[in-house]
Structure 1
């Protein structure tokens, strides 16, 4: 069986050769992909009967199946194969969670309003659309406002100049109330991550408090985008697949040997700031770690396994890169971050973020909540240590310092921890609110005691790969699009990997008479019983039926003809090459399963 993580150019060499021979080409423009998606039932704007609302899309029958298959492939690679857990948390979250996480203060985009027509626009996008600046998001609002003025950028809606208009921060979270009234504010989650962070204490118990462990989640997120655009690329409701990998920063290391030889296209921060801006460097994970381009082994590990997964999903590696975040665009929680980006219609779009979040999230929830967000790490052998402590005589401190006595005691404890030698004299001085207080050493109860410790509490660091499923799906469709000629006629088709195709096999009777239809329906039923996704079609001529299945990416078509009734064989046609072969009906399920597992069609 072919390794499903192997590069597709190894598993699908025969298909690639067939494409080259037939002159197949890809790189469709955005309008072509969107039109195909709508016509063939992949995705389309939601609620169009009521005028529609920008930023919301419905996945049709083909798109919903493709999305399910993509999620299953992600779960296979990043959950099952890595031995991680998976949860499903609520999409409505109380305000206190986002106060702790920092989203109330920092989850913003830049907005500018037209003074004439009142239209609002995402200011950094206006700059990117009208200048050579690629990452205006990394700039502050004042700089973006200056650029709008410098380049005389006008309102896209009415053409009014936007110079001197203020650029403000706009929080992207959808607000709601939990229960009647407004006493319990909440938000639709903008990411699935907080559901995993908040439940960390219980999840750590499920992991037997053993680091490292990972928790994954596939679910809906919501962001009140200023300017939804480009179909699934920027929407207000979307599906994310996120993994939070909790690690001990002092001792846990990834199995980097599994990916050190994987080649990756890196677009580093240094390259973006240099003269060769735009150049991608292909290197191996091992080399990138050795020369310091990637600083985190854990991030490097996930870049490596994700690169092979993208290849497996059909992402064109000539239109793919890992871009490192510039210092000014790093999220508030990230010490380093790389985006997986795909080229779509001449533009690079982010499809995944890989971040080292450090201990930020768990530390915040530890501070704001009543739970302990650490893991107890047992030592191999108990350790005996000397620990300074105080036991102040409050009958002395109380009368002497009054209401400040408690604060004086706290400062004495802090001083004992950081500088035990301060207690060697007859008096100890501490400062409270700018005032120095002197305490007789004997009244502090200072002592150095031996303590035996069996372990310590560790707040884990978090490594996070976060995938935008809709963006990956759009990329897969765009990169799978092909056009060629078959027997003098032009055709378009989707060269989807077999495991992603919404339908795996189409079954056709040559015509619906003389028992051909009944035999074809029986074949289709048997293939469904074998666990294959099957469509049955007896409408129109065979060529037209082939074209319909090609256009939705169905890898194989089975035609039942008169020879099927006489000899018990059917014609199996492969999508990309259009090659055909006769296969015994009784062998059909096993042969199709073998093709899906990687067996070349020409064997």
Structure 2
């Protein structure tokens, strides 16, 4: 039995998570988190908040899950968020064609990502890929839009989509967020929330869900001033990179370089992206994943999302599935803000003042109102304002190539504008900020934390969670359920709860059984109230991982435990070691 199976069985039995809607047979791609799982997930997300919000000053917002179709038309998701699907001719089950080839024909991800529908069909036939459920043959591959579609309100033409990422809820609010950032770059915005992807055949538990929690951080900066103050802190951090050029050679050779070296050698294009990758590595290390079990793999051009100029996936090695993505790091340039500016007409540029004004000749697009008015009626003035700000070179190139220029949904013809040059005094420049995006899958972080915490000691399962994310911090146990020990234990329990700790009280069964249950739930410390407690007000404190015990006074516990869970002291500092 592999770890994936053991963890899923433990998760169901102890209430970390399980498949949703079990009484109706269950639905793939949906999970329900129980008490322990919900706490673990919340603690991991709070760790992200501590890093990005509390320490780096990134703003956190919360936007709706449903958005009108215009948002995703502008972002490109309606056109690009599609996956190749095949249907079994016999049992009618549907599967992702590329995943089938990876799983059954053992083709690499980079190899199948670039295949057209026709090439996918040929590969399926060549490798004799059959339905994993019934052995039937597959029909023609076709694309499937993996966004959940809905209607907003009672009108069927008011189409909306469940967001497949949290990023667009940030981009569409950029103007207001920029004001909140006091109109200064750089600044970042984070959103933690549910996202929806109508996966064709999710079969990997928490690793691939139809409804999941995503942590998207959009960091806005001036592309002409990409200096990153974080490099002082993380510049010497080592990253393990699998570069695109290696993948093109059919290799997944890992290059180990520092963040500074990766930037100097041009492996990573943007300093902010490199810095966030280093922070992501540190996060996973703190969640219990050793550095040698992590890597950042660069996506090839045809693997990248439509909005990205460069992307790295942070991957962690797990027992059943091998390397899985836990975070993505994309350089989104100005793609999203530019798209929303064109589609909505809202200016997403910012103004940066020069130290001294500059006088220079500038090529400009001059709107011709005599032509725009009859062509666009009431929208002419708005279009004229937008045209005066677009790149003349882009307009000229589009005229030359297509005979027109698309300004959002408006087709601009050469007769509508005049491209000319004039001398201007520039006090500053207007530009659309560029964006780097670190994006984490919260559910995947939960899974890898569970897998790397899972171990067996003396035939007992122990979940060795890092102390700052453990669902329950402390267990309180009377040695026996009599002689006033439960009453004293409940006093200690209440004191610790009042101090803000997450505490479990358990007096059922032998003390050994209670310790075993606590270890299986990943509770770092167990406090036992025994007969000595009634005499001198001291208790034993048991360590989950080593099973060692120390003893200390009850009134000393709050201060020491706060320090312990903030990682200011170690277990040995909690009291005097009890000799076995």
TM over 0.5, shorter chain: yes
1:561 aligns with 2:530: yes
* Unmatched runs of 5 consecutive residues or more in structure 2: 394-401, 405-414, 574-580
> CA distance change for structure 1 residues 445 and 62 in 2, over 3 Å: closer, same or farther?
closer
Q: 1:448, CA displacement in angstroms?
A: 7.2
Written as runs of structure 1 = structure 2, the 5 A alignment for 1:199-598 is 199-255=173-229, 256-274=231-249, 277-346=251-320, 347-386=322-361, 450-485=423-458, 490-598=459-567
Q: What is aligned with 2:117? A: 141
Q: Measure, in 1, the Cα distance between the counterparts of 2:556 and 2:97.
A: 60
Provide, for residues 118-139 of structure 1, a one-character-per-residue CA deviation record: whole Å limited to 9, x for no partner.
1111101100001232202343
* 8 Å contact kept, 1:40–1:552: yes
Q: Measure, in 2, the Cα distance between the counterparts of 1:328 and 1:583.
A: 61
Q: What is aligned with 2:571? A: 601
Q: Measure, in 1, the Cα distance between the counterparts of 2:246 and 2:465.
A: 33
> CA distance change for structure 1 residues 391 and 46 in 2, over 3 Å: closer, same or farther?
closer
Q: Measure, in 2, the Cα distance between the counterparts of 1:44 and 1:124.
A: 27
Q: Measure, in 2, the Cα distance between the counterparts of 1:546 and 1:178.
A: 52
Q: What is aligned with 1:119? A: 93
Q: Measure, in 1, the Cα distance between the counterparts of 2:266 and 2:155.
A: 54
Q: Measure, in 1, the Cα distance between the counterparts of 2:420 and 2:488.
A: 91
Q: 1:241, CA displacement in angstroms?
A: 0.6
Q: 1:211, CA displacement in angstroms?
A: 1.1
> CA distance change for structure 1 residues 262 and 432 in 2, over 3 Å: closer, same or farther?
closer
* 8 Å contact kept, 1:322–1:341: yes
> CA distance change for structure 1 residues 337 and 448 in 2, over 3 Å: closer, same or farther?
closer
2:51 to 52, 77, 82: 77
Q: 1:282, CA displacement in angstroms?
A: 2.7
* 8 Å contact kept, 1:502–1:553: yes
Provide, for residues 558-591 of structure 1, a one-character-per-residue CA deviation record: whole Å limited to 9, x for no partner.
0000000101100100011111011111101122
* Unmatched runs of 5 consecutive residues or more in structure 1: 1-26, 419-430, 434-438
> CA distance change for structure 1 residues 394 and 592 in 2, over 3 Å: closer, same or farther?
closer
Q: Measure, in 2, the Cα distance between the counterparts of 1:304 and 1:387.
A: 41
Point out the more displaced range, 263-272 or 195-204.
263-272
Give the match's secondary structure for 2:572: coil
> CA distance change for structure 1 residues 590 and 361 in 2, over 3 Å: closer, same or farther?
same
Q: 1:296, CA displacement in angstroms?
A: 2.3
Taking CA–CA contacts closer than 8 Å with sequence separation of 6 or more, which of the two structures ends up with the larger relative contact order? 1
Point out the more displaced range, 165-174 or 358-367.
165-174
Q: Measure, in 1, the Cα distance between the counterparts of 2:149 and 2:128.
A: 35
* 8 Å contact kept, 2:105–2:129: no
Q: 1:115, CA displacement in angstroms?
A: 1.4
Point out the more displaced range, 311-320 or 211-220.
311-320
Q: What is aligned with 1:52? A: 26
Q: What is aligned with 2:135? A: 159
Provide, for residues 165-185 of structure 1, a one-character-per-residue CA deviation record: whole Å limited to 9, x for no partner.
321111101111101120211
Structure whose alpha-carbon radius of gyration is higher: 1
* 8 Å contact kept, 1:570–1:583: yes
* 8 Å contact kept, 1:501–1:554: yes
* 8 Å contact kept, 1:139–1:328: no
Give the match's secondary structure for 2:49: helix
Q: Measure, in 2, the Cα distance between the counterparts of 1:266 and 1:386.
A: 44
TM-score (ref. length: structure 2): 0.88
Provide, for residues 531-555 of structure 1, a one-character-per-residue CA deviation record: whole Å limited to 9, x for no partner.
1110000001011101111111110
* 8 Å contact kept, 1:28–1:481: no
Q: Measure, in 2, the Cα distance between the counterparts of 1:120 and 1:100.
A: 29
Q: Measure, in 2, the Cα distance between the counterparts of 1:334 and 1:243.
A: 15
* 8 Å contact kept, 1:139–1:329: no
Q: Measure, in 2, the Cα distance between the counterparts of 1:317 and 1:385.
A: 52
Q: 1:382, CA displacement in angstroms?
A: 2.4
Give the match's secondary structure for 2:302: helix
Q: 1:344, CA displacement in angstroms?
A: 1.8
Provide, for residues 468-503 of structure 1, a one-character-per-residue CA deviation record: whole Å limited to 9, x for no partner.
000111010011101122xxxx21111101110000
Q: What is aligned with 1:29? A: 3
RMSD of the alignment, in Å? 2.9
Give the match's secondary structure for 1:257: helix
> CA distance change for structure 1 residues 369 and 564 in 2, over 3 Å: closer, same or farther?
same
Give the match's secondary structure for 1:74: helix
Q: Measure, in 2, the Cα distance between the counterparts of 1:531 and 1:151.
A: 59
* 8 Å contact kept, 2:538–2:552: yes
Give the match's secondary structure for 2:564: helix
Q: 1:270, CA displacement in angstroms?
A: 2.2
Q: Measure, in 1, the Cα distance between the counterparts of 2:146 and 2:367.
A: 51
Q: 1:49, CA displacement in angstroms?
A: 1.4
Point out the more displaced range, 181-190 or 130-139.
130-139
* 8 Å contact kept, 2:226–2:272: no
* 8 Å contact kept, 1:264–1:322: yes
Give the match's secondary structure for 1:362: helix
Give the match's secondary structure for 2:198: coil
* 8 Å contact kept, 1:389–1:448: yes
* 8 Å contact kept, 1:28–1:478: no
Q: Measure, in 2, the Cα distance between the counterparts of 1:390 and 1:522.
A: 77
* 8 Å contact kept, 2:351–2:429: yes
Q: 1:449, CA displacement in angstroms?
A: 5.8
* 8 Å contact kept, 2:281–2:294: no
Q: Measure, in 2, the Cα distance between the counterparts of 1:585 and 1:115.
A: 69
> CA distance change for structure 1 residues 517 and 456 in 2, over 3 Å: closer, same or farther?
same
Q: Measure, in 2, the Cα distance between the counterparts of 1:212 and 1:128.
A: 41
* 8 Å contact kept, 1:42–1:63: yes
